[in-house]
């Protein structure tokens, strides 16, 4: 075999190997809001300079849940341990059970039996909750009890006036501001399943957002970071929770992350541009947790 042929064969082999490795599957890619590819270090750097960080998740995506835990650990170190965590997945009337479990007053078994846990708690939320407990961090149940959100869906925001003074401690203070012209709320009825939508549907969403903002505001960490985990819809486009929190704390530094799913993650699709400060893109065929 001539030297030239050997050189050609080696070059072809190298090209094939390079092509193979360049096409290795990736679990996610990160983009800034304008669609420019960026990296994890840049995301953490920006997040660590904020007062409140919203990690908008796809509820059943394992990549998002793993990155939430990784981010919590990074922010814990960068903030010199001045960090608190809030969860849409915990309702405000369960705060006592969370506090008692973290104080070792009740057992893990009782905690998990008594709190209304989501079906994917053990795979997706338990790791970060247990990490927070180990590190003696504050974990806040920020969401409204679902029975009160349902009350709004049936009777509008005015229905909340029927609640007792004790029950009202578990929601944002009344009256609740509501702006149907916010694009996210305005689109809810149009995008809802036929028969499910009514004029109160976006109001039921708004009372969740208002309540989460209220409990975040009450538990901000001085010179620290509040990391909030929620479905992406609650923080996309800096509406939802952020709109209410800005009304409570003008000038607060809010940072958003969202998670989206695409068939091809090599570039950000146009519909997701500017949904958040940073956008995590995961493959659409990635295994779901439930």
Domains delineated in the chain: 29-283 (3.40.50.11550)
Terminal-residue alpha carbon distance, the chain:
57
Q: For residue 278, which of 45, 61, 98 has the smallest C-alpha distance?
A: 45
pLDDT surpassing 60 at residue 16? no
Q: Look at the pTM and tell me if it is higher than 0.95.
A: no
- Give the tens place of pLDDT for each residue, 137-186: 999 999 999 999 999 999 999 999 999 999 999 999 999 999 999 999 99
Mean pLDDT computed over every residue of the chain: 92
Residue 213: pLDDT band (50, 70, 90) is very high
pLDDT surpassing 50 at residue 47? yes
Of 48-57, 186-195, 217-226, the range with the lowest mean pLDDT is: 186-195
């Amino acid at each position: 075999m001539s030297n030239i042929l050997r050189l050609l064969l080696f070059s072809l082999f190298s090209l094939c190997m390079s092509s193979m490795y360049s096409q290795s599957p990736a679990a996610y890619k990160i983009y800034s809001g304008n669609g420019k590819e960026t990296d994890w270090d840049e995301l953490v750097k920006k997040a660590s300079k904020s007062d409140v960080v919203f990690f908008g998740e796809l509820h059943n995506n394992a990549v998002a849940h793993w990155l939430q835990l990784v981010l919590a650990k990074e922010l814990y170190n960068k903030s010199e341990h001045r960090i608190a965590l809030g969860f849409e997945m915990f309702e405000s009337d369960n705060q006592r059970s969370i506090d008692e479990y973290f104080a070792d007053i009740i057992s893990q078994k009782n905690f998990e039996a008594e709190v209304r846990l989501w079906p994917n708690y053990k795979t997706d939320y338990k790791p970060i909750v247990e990490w927070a407990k180990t590190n003696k961090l504050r974990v806040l149940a920020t969401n409204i009890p679902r029975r009160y959100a349902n009350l709004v869906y049936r009777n509008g925001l005015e229905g909340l006036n029927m609640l007792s003074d004790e029950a009202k401690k578990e929601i944002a203070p009344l009256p609740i501001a509501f702006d149907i012209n916010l694009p996210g709320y305005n689109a809810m009825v149009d995008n809802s399943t036929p028969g499910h939508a009514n004029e109160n549907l976006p109001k039921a969403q708004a009372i969740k957002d208002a309540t989460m903002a209220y409990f975040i505001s009450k538990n901000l960490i001085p010179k620290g970071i509040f990391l909030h985990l929620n479905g992406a819809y609650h923080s996309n486009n800096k509406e939802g929770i952020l709109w209410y929190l800005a009304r409570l704390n003008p000038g607060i530094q809010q940072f958003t992350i969202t998670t989206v799913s695409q068939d091809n993650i090599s570039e950000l699709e146009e519909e997701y541009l500017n949904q958040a400060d940073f956008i995590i893109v995961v493959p659409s065929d990635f295994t779901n947790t439930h």
